[in-house]
């Protein structure tokens, strides 16, 4: 099945929330954000803004009807800052006007005085200041300190890992409508309707059932709308509630980039010990997470970093220290991979550095340490259904890794300023929320008299294909055509207490719930079919291609007739399914347990060419063997792998998120923040799904696919480095990302002084 | 009299009194409630708002994709504006079908713009629908979901399925016949001629010479002050006659100030005068932006990092400035006086750019390094014109952008090399002189040290590209 919305997307007929015709008298809100990154608000003058013609209201913290506090894990954030601001762009006031232009113009009339406090943008500095979101924590296995003496090589280093802007094409937005009896209907571009409801419950002082959140689709989310969509929805809701008018709030791109959090930058130290054969004996890593101003999801992100610290390798002695450090940046948040990518980048850096010191190719060390069935992760879980080595071997064979090595070697011998490089990147990513209670899903399935089917789940369609998957799962479980199934908007009145669409788990949780719902309805249908066909054992009945079969043989009874008969016989044609992932547990205090239902494995081979004169580079190819279990819709699944790869490649290379020392985002627009385009991505992009794989936890045997492939992109960093070392073998290259053309060129030529007065030291030969 | 604009929106003629400076994007979404066209960035960097603009060229209408987020409504006078809705047929069109089949849409937000550009590619007889063609067409689009492989495959499907149309003399009508485009496209030339007979205004916008904003391509202006323009008096410069076109006059080319980047790059005279021009244009902006951005806009914007400016400097271009009947000529190299300061009176209009015909034997190169190769602003860009006569430097023009408050020619470097034999030693010395002539600063496009290094690297790049028989990159790196 193709993406269920694609025929609408290509016609421009899909409705995103502000494409729906506006209700009459709808007003528009604009957000006034703090002009400075840290300070106490001394005064806030809203009068001039209120006086602008067309302005209906201007609100500040004191207008928040309920308790002015929210946060998904730790409630440390205000909807509108009351007395203190902690990052540039932090919402302080809301202007509501007849048009968005008037609202923005009036926003310019707001006067604020802030007495500045010291600004911290570096997590290590925050750490030194003792400013954490949560106390530092350590998780370990074995005895790292004792292991060093058994190692033939001990290598230390550090990494500076850049953040990443989500660049969902559709910026944050929400539209709220007042309803009778102080109820609200909020259309929001959110991955987490329940989080929005819960926050609105406290901030607006309304019972949760009074707040209906509805989401048809998102123009991209990638984690950026998991938690950070909440505030905009509540703000629109607050304005609508107070003014009793529909209110829409749409951030433009500049506002969105300035005000919303991103992937966390990390600063990390590593120490790795190996024997002479390249077997890793010990690994010690410290993660200093740049959490930004408020807690948001940072502690959960960091948890995932910790448990992905060893990627797909078995290491007997491991110690991981992790600390979420508070800085004066927008609160960093979920982004596809959710802390996993940073962890994997560090272990790969450690392996590469060890390889350089030992004079052994990195891929040999990688290959010698791949996880095998039954080995333990340092957090206590034993790996099951492990296909790490299979994907690695298959990638090496299918993509002729040996041939590539030879080809690259001879290319590099023949060329001076152009060098090629390659890297293999294995991934092992755990599936389930590390927060236990989120591992549940709900589905509501209706079968209508005409045989058409409506499915509502807690999953949000953000392009990833959840609706497509739900339609497939419902249709295949019923035994009917996918065209009969409509997937409804995600709505809190139909599904309560939904988990965010995140952690790659949306299809698993909601798909399994859908199967449970369908099975309840099927049970009744089969009863009617058995009576109708005079069959004693309804267990013999199956629906195949919309025809009722008995023991595999087709009968005359069709789906449509069966549904009508069931309705007339007052059988249940609607059901609600609830699914909770079995067998998982995780002790957040000790960092030990069985947090994941299963792991996703795969291997990517990347080849690059670096122009060592200009510092620019091309990605020649990325070739992947990915374990997806049994794919539900290969086109959709492949799209997930390729799209995630693109984001991973971008994160490692050109996506250069920059803040200055005052906490101002310099890469503030799509003109200064560049995401991968059609020329950046390699034409030679291969995705092979590992054959004969299965997964008992996934609906129809599938494996989660949203996040894991992003980490294939990490390979490009090491491929580039590999090429750079061919040009400049003696250079000590940093492990700092992103590896922009600037970094490449500066690293390649870092021993060269260019300031005219010191020209004699230059590499330019003074013959 | 209220200002009006009359044009064809998809299949219908519309006449609107919305402001001339209003963005077509806003007009479509908020006046017409046509929401297929999306706002992603409002600065021409994502392509989600792409539309086709058709203009009468002789008997037929030529269509060009442009970003409606940088397009003033006043510019639509007498044009055909095509949105994604205007490309819809009863069934999915071949472009739409190919995208669906290949999985080239996920969240869908960027998709309408991509559909529009892909149709623009099909309709443009000068473009092949192959891998290079699709990349050209998508150069101004961001898709954050797919990784583009599926879109590239969609183009391959199209190329197979529409083979006959694509090889036809008149692609547009054969696409209509093949039901790849709506039937109404055949009526458009006659409808546009009808509008041209009875224009509702001069098309200049509400403001005359006292307008607050003079809009040429608008691709920089709207990025800078986009929120102010709709309410302001504007003058749409493209409606002024005689400012387009390229002609050879005596020893130079006269390039109309409103010549777009794309027109410049496609011009056979320019291609002859500047070998490799296509490759240089590839590094500049995107298809949509090049269809709007003008040479004069690039010059008057006075960005320290203007790409066309860097090329024009190396070509020893001169500017023709006009005020009423008075005309004066200023060499481009003397035009910039400081950051965004120019030798130009506010009432003077840049009408022509004069490019001397390069002497035979003169070689020209353009270099640009940016974070992303395409549709990105340079960290450093540079043009070089080199004319060696018997191994001696006869003419040498070396421009650099991004290393000073203005784009400029390196005079001392040139002075040193002029009349000298171009040896490795001289080249090395020239690099040192260059370093003393530049004063880069740290910004989001790179640290000052990086730009210094790039100035050197690009000098080497120029020399090794222009004189491969004389210089190899390796010659400059013996220390390794």
How many whole angstroms separate alpha carbon A354 and alpha carbon A360?
8
Closest approach of B135 to chain A, Cα-based (Å): 6
Find out whether B197 and B160 touch, Cβ atoms under 8 Å. no
Closest approach of A476 to chain B, Cα-based (Å): 21
Tens-place pLDDT, residues B235-289: 999 888 889 999 999 999 999 999 999 999 999 999 999 999 999 999 999 999 9
Residue with tokens 């090496």: A396
Find out whether A18 and A188 touch, Cβ atoms under 8 Å. no
Residue with tokens 């055949």: B186
Question: Per the structure block, which two tokens stand in for A339?
Answer: 């802390």
Mean pLDDT for A282-304 is 98
Contacts of residue A441, Cβ cutoff 8 Å, sequence gap at least 6: A457, A458, A459, A498, A499, A506, A508, A509, A510, A511, A512, A513, A578, A579
pLDDT for the residue A767: 28
Beta-bridged to residue B399, according to DSSP, are: B383, B409
Question: Per the structure block, which two tokens stand in for A307?
Answer: 């448990």
Q: Which residues in A lie closer than 8 A to residue B436 (C-beta atoms)?
A: 756
Q: Which residues in A lie closer than 8 A to residue B36 (C-beta atoms)?
A: 11-13
Find out whether A388 and A372 touch, Cβ atoms under 8 Å. yes
> What pLDDT band is residue B3 in, cutting at 50, 70 and 90?
confident
Find out whether A52 and A102 touch, Cβ atoms under 8 Å. yes
Domains of chain B (ranges; CATH) run 1-41+52-82+190-240 (3.10.20.30), 89-181 (1.10.150.120), 246-474 (3.30.465.10)
Among residues B23, B69, B75, B20, the alpha carbon closest in space to that of B43 is found at B69
Name the residue of chain B whose CA is nearest to A256's CA: B41
> What pLDDT band is residue A763 in, cutting at 50, 70 and 90?
very low
Torsion of CA A313, A319, A320, A323, to 10 degrees: 180
How many whole angstroms separate alpha carbon A34 and alpha carbon B411?
46
Strands B318-323 and B408-409: unpaired
pLDDT of residue A756 exceeding 70, the answer is no
Question: Per the structure block, which two tokens stand in for A150?
Answer: 């058994």
| Residue B314 CA: distances (Å) to CA of A658, B353, B362, B416 | 33, 13, 11, 17
SS3 of chain B: helix, strand, coil, percent, to 5: 40, 20, 40
How many whole angstroms separate alpha carbon A68 and alpha carbon B369?
48
List phi, psi (to 5°) of A562.
-65, -40
Tens-place pLDDT, residues B404-437: 999 999 999 999 999 999 999 999 999 999 999 9
Mean pLDDT for B285-301 is 97
Among residues A669, A504, A221, A338, the alpha carbon closest in space to that of B144 is found at A221
Tens-place pLDDT, residues B49-67: 999 999 999 999 999 999 9
How many whole angstroms separate alpha carbon A116 and alpha carbon A546?
69
**Helices A401-414 & A388-398 angle (0-180, nearest 10):** 50
Helix (H) or strand (E) holding A601: strand A598-611
Find out whether A598 and A385 touch, Cβ atoms under 8 Å. yes
Q: Which residues in A lie closer than 8 A to residue B35 (C-beta atoms)?
A: 12, 15-16, 18-19
Contacts of residue A553, Cβ cutoff 8 Å, sequence gap at least 6: none
Tens-place pLDDT, residues A604-617: 999 999 999 999 99
How many whole angstroms separate alpha carbon A40 and alpha carbon A38?
7
Among residues B152, B118, B143, the alpha carbon closest in space to that of B46 is found at B143
DSSP string, B329-393: EEEHHHHEEETTEES--TT-EEEEEEEEPPPTTEEEEEEEE-SSSSS---SEEEEEEEEEETTEE
How many helices and strands in chain B, by DSSP H and E?
Answer: 19, 18
Within its chain, how far is the Cα of A521 from the centroid?
34
Tens-place pLDDT, residues A360-378: 999 999 999 999 999 999 9
CATH domain A6-118+166-259 topology: Aldehyde Oxidoreductase; domain 3 (3.90.1170)
Put simply, the answer to whether B446 touches A742 (Cβ < 8 Å) is yes
Put simply, the answer to whether B36 touches A12 (Cβ < 8 Å) is yes
Helix (H, G, I), strand (E, B) or coil at A756: helix
> What pLDDT band is residue B202 in, cutting at 50, 70 and 90?
low
Question: Per the structure block, which two tokens stand in for B457?
Answer: 């690297």
Put simply, the answer to whether A220 touches B36 (Cβ < 8 Å) is no
Beta-bridged to residue A187, according to DSSP, are: A175, A214
Contacts of residue B315, Cβ cutoff 8 Å, sequence gap at least 6: B274, B355, B356, B358, B364, B383, B385, B397
Strands A453-457 and A485-487: parallel
| Residue A67 CA: distances (Å) to CA of A75, A79, A174, A241, A724 | 11, 9, 21, 15, 55
Among residues B339, B282, B310, B229, the alpha carbon closest in space to that of A677 is found at B282
Contacts of residue A570, Cβ cutoff 8 Å, sequence gap at least 6: none
pLDDT for the residue B199: 72
> What pLDDT band is residue B208 in, cutting at 50, 70 and 90?
low
Within its chain, how far is the Cα of A146 from the centroid?
37
Sign of dihedral through CA atoms A362, A368, A373, A379? negative
Q: Which residues in B lie closer than 8 A to residue A616 (C-beta atoms)?
A: 369, 373
pLDDT for the residue B59: 92
How many whole angstroms separate alpha carbon A672 and alpha carbon B378?
10
> What pLDDT band is residue A750 in, cutting at 50, 70 and 90?
confident
Put simply, the answer to whether A742 touches B450 (Cβ < 8 Å) is yes
Name the residue of chain A whose CA is nearest to B89's CA: A11
Length of chain B: 480
**Helices A340-358 & A634-652 angle (0-180, nearest 10):** 60
Put simply, the answer to whether A13 touches B460 (Cβ < 8 Å) is no
pLDDT for the residue A502: 97
Sign of dihedral through CA atoms A462, A467, A469, A473? positive
ipTM of the complex: 0.97
Helix (H, G, I), strand (E, B) or coil at B27: helix
Helix (H, G, I), strand (E, B) or coil at B306: coil
Closest approach of B134 to chain A, Cα-based (Å): 9
How many whole angstroms separate alpha carbon B116 and alpha carbon B137?
10
pLDDT of residue A762 exceeding 50, the answer is no
Contacts of residue B20, Cβ cutoff 8 Å, sequence gap at least 6: B3, B5, B72, B73, B74, B205, B206, B234, B236
Put simply, the answer to whether A766 touches B432 (Cβ < 8 Å) is no
Tens-place pLDDT, residues A147-160: 999 999 999 999 99
Name the residue of chain A whose CA is nearest to B446's CA: A742
CATH domain A440-580 topology: Aldehyde Oxidoreductase; domain 4 (3.30.365)
How many whole angstroms separate alpha carbon A129 and alpha carbon A134?
13
The mean pLDDT of chain A is: 96
Find out whether B28 and B68 touch, Cβ atoms under 8 Å. yes
How many helices and strands in chain A, by DSSP H and E?
Answer: 19, 29
CATH of domain A266-433+589-745: 3.30.365.10
Provide the H-helix boundaries in A333-387: 340-358, 362-368
Mean pLDDT for B197-203 is 68
**For chain A, domain boundaries:** 6-118+166-259, 266-433+589-745, 440-580
Closest approach of B95 to chain A, Cα-based (Å): 9
Within its chain, how far is the Cα of A345 from the centroid?
16
Contacts of residue B241, Cβ cutoff 8 Å, sequence gap at least 6: none
Find out whether B141 and A677 touch, Cβ atoms under 8 Å. yes
Strands A684-689 and A616-626: parallel
> What pLDDT band is residue B2 in, cutting at 50, 70 and 90?
low
Among A416, A656, A679, beta carbon nearest to B374: A679
Q: Is A180 annotated in the active site? A: no
Say if A6-118+166-259 and A266-433+589-745 have the same CATH topology.
Answer: no
Mean pLDDT for B107-132 is 97
Cis ω before A738 (30° cut-off from 0) = yes
pTM over 0.95: yes
Tens-place pLDDT, residues B360-374: 999 999 999 999 999
Q: Which residues in B lie closer than 8 A to residue A189 (C-beta atoms)?
A: none
What order do you get walking across the sheet with A266-274 strand by strand? Answer: A137-141, A317-326, A280-292, A266-274, A153-161
Mean pLDDT for B222-238 is 92
pLDDT for the residue B161: 97
- Interface-testing mutation among A2, A3, A7, A9, with chain B (most B C-beta atoms within 10 A): A9
pLDDT for the residue B211: 85
Catalytic residue, from A303, A390, A707, A747: name it: A707
Question: Per the structure block, which two tokens stand in for A276?
Answer: 């002479």
Q: Which residues in A lie closer than 8 A to residue B106 (C-beta atoms)?
A: 3, 463-465, 639, 643
Residue with tokens 């993660």: A287
């Amino acid at each position: 099945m193709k993406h269920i919305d694609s025929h609408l997307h290509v016609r421009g007929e899909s409705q995103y929330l502000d494409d729906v015709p506006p209700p009459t008298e709808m007003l528009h809100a604009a957000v006034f954000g703090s002009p400075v990154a840290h300070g106490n608000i001394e005064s806030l003058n809203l009068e001039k803004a209120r006086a602008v013609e067309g302005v209906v209201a201007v609100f500040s913290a004191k207008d928040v009807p309920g308790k002015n506090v929210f946060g998904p894990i730790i409630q440390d954030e205000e909807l509108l800052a009351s007395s203190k601001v902690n990052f540039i762009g932090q919402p302080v006031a809301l202007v509501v006007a007849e048009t968005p232009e008037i609202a923005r113009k009036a926003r310019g009339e707001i006067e604020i005085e802030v007495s500045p406090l010291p600004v911290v943008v570096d997590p290590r500095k925050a750490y030194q200041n003792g400013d954490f979101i949560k106390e530092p924590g350590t998780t370990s296995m074995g005895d790292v300190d004792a292991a060093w003496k058994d190692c033939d090589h001990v290598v230390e280093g550090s990494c500076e890992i850049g953040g990443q802007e989500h660049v969902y094409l559709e910026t944050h937005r929400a539209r709220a409508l007042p309803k009778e009896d102080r109820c609200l209907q909020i259309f929001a571009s959110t991955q987490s309707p329940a989080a929005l409801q819960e926050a609105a419950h406290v901030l607006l002082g309304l019972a949760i059932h009074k707040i209906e959140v509805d989401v048809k689709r998102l123009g991209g989310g990638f984690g950026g709308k998991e938690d950070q969509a909440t505030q905009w929805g509540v703000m629109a809701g607050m304005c609508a509630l107070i003014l009793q008018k529909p209110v829409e709030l749409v951030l433009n791109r500049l506002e969105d980039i300035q005000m919303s959090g991103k992937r966390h930058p990390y600063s990390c130290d590593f120490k790795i010990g190996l024997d002479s054969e390249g077997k890793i004996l010990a690994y010690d890593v410290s993660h200093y997470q740049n959490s930004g101003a408020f807690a948001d999801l940072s502690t959960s992100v960091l948890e995932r970093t910790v448990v992905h610290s060893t990627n797909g390798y078995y290491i007997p002695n491991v110690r991981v220290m992790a600390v979420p450090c508070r800085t004066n940046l927008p609160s960093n948040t979920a982004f596809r991979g959710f802390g996993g990518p940073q962890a994997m980048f560090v272990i790969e850096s450690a392996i590469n550095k060890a390889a350089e010191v030992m004079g052994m190719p990195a891929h040999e060390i990688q290959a010698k340490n791949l996880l095998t069935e039954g080995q333990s992760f340092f957090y206590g879980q034993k790996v099951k259904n492990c296909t790490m080595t299979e994907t690695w071997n298959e990638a090496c064979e299918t993509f002729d890794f040996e041939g590539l090595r030879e080809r690259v070697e001879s290319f590099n011998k023949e060329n001076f300023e152009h060098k090629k490089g390659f890297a293999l990147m294995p991934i092992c990513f755990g599936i389930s929320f590390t927060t236990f209670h989120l591992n549940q899903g709900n589905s509501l399935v209706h079968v209508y008299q005409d045989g058409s089917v409506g499915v509502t789940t807690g999953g949000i369609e953000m392009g990833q294909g959840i609706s497509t998957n739900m339609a497939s799962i419902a249709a295949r479980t019923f035994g009917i055509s996918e065209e009969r199934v409509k997937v409804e908007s995600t709505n809190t009145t139909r599904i309560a207490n939904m988990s965010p669409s995140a952690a790659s788990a949306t299809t698993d949780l909601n798909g399994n719930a859908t199967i449970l719902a369908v099975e309840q309805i099927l049970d009744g249908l089969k009863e009617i079919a058995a009576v109708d066909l005079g069959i004693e054992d309804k267990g013999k009945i199956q629906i195949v291609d919309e025809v009722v079969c008995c023991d595999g043989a087709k009968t005359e009874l069709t789906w449509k007739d069966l549904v009508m008969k069931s309705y007339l016989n007052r059988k249940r044609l609607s059901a609600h399914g609830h699914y909770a992932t079995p067998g998982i547990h995780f002790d957040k205090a000790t960092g030990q347990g069985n947090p994941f239902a299963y792991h996703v494995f795969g291997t990517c081979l990347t080849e690059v060419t670096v122009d060592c004169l200009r510092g620019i580079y091309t990605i020649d190819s990325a070739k992947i063997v990915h374990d997806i279990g049994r794919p539900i819709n290969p086109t959709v699944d492949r799209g997930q792998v390729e799209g995630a790869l693109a984001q991973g490649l971008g994160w490692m290379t050109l996506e250069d998120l920059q803040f200055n020392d005052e906490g101002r985002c310099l890469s503030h627009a799509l003109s200064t923040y560049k995401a991968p385009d059609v020329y950046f991505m390699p034409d030679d992009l291969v995705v092979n799904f590992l054959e004969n794989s299965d997964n008992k936890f996934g609906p129809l045997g599938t494996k989660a696919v949203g996040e894991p492939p992003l980490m294939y992109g990490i390979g490009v960093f090491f491929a580039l480095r590999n090429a750079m070392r061919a040009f400049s073998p003696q250079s000590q290259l940093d492990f700092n990302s992103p590896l922009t053309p600037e970094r490449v060129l500066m690293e390649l030529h870092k021993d060269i002084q260019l300031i005219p007065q010191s020209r004699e030291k230059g590499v330019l030969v003074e013959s | 009299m209220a200002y009006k604009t009359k044009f064809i929106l998809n299949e219908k003629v519309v006449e609107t009194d919305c402001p001339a400076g209003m963005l077509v994007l806003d007009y479509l979404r908020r006046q017409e409630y046509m929401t297929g066209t999306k706002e992603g960035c409002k600065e021409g960097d994502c392509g989600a708002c792409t539309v086709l603009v058709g203009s009468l060229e002789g008997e037929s209408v030529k269509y060009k994709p442009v970003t409606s987020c940088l397009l003033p409504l006043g510019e639509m006078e007498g044009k055909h504006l095509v949105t994604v809705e205007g490309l819809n047929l009863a069934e999915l069109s071949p472009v739409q079908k190919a995208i669906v089949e290949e999985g080239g849409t996920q969240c869908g937000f960027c998709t309408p713009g991509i559909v529009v550009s892909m149709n623009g590619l099909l309709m443009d007889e000068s473009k092949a629908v192959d891998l290079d063609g699709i990349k050209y067409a998508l150069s101004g689009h961001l898709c954050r979901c797919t990784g583009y492989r599926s879109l590239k495959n969609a183009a391959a499907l199209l190329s197979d399925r529409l083979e006959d149309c694509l090889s036809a003399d008149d692609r547009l009508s054969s696409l209509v016949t093949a039901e790849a485009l709506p039937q109404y496209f055949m009526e458009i030339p006659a409808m546009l001629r009808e509008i041209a007979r009875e224009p509702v205004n001069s098309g200049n916008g509400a403001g005359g010479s006292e307008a607050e904003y003079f809009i040429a391509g608008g691709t920089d202006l709207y990025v800078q002050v986009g929120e102010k323009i709709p309410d302001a008096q504007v003058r749409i410069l493209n409606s002024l006659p005689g400012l387009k076109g390229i002609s050879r006059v005596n020893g130079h080319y006269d390039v109309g100030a409103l010549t777009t980047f794309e027109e410049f790059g496609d011009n056979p005279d320019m291609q002859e005068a500047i070998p490799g021009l296509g490759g240089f244009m590839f590094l500049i902006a995107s298809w949509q932006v090049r269809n709007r951005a003008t040479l004069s806009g690039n010059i008057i914007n006075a960005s320290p990092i203007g790409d066309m400016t860097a090329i024009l400097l190396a070509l020893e271009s001169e500017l023709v400035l006009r005020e009423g009947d008075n005309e004066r000529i200023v060499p481009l190299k003397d035009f910039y006086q400081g950051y965004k300061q120019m030798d130009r009176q506010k009432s003077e209009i840049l009408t022509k750019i004069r490019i001397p015909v390069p002497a035979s034997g003169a070689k020209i190169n353009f270099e640009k390094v940016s974070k992303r190769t395409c549709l990105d602003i340079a960290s450093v860009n540079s043009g070089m014109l080199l004319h060696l006569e018997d191994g001696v430097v006869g003419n040498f023009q070396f421009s650099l952008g991004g290393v000073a408050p203005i784009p400029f020619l390196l005079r001392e470097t040139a002075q040193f090399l002029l009349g000298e034999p171009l040896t490795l030693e001289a080249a090395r010395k020239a690099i040192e002189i260059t370093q003393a002539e530049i004063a880069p600063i740290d910004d989001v496009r790179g640290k000052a040290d990086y730009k210094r290094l790039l100035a050197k690297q690009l000098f080497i790049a120029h020399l090794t590209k222009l004189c491969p028989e004389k210089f190899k990159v390796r010659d400059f790196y013996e220390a390794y």
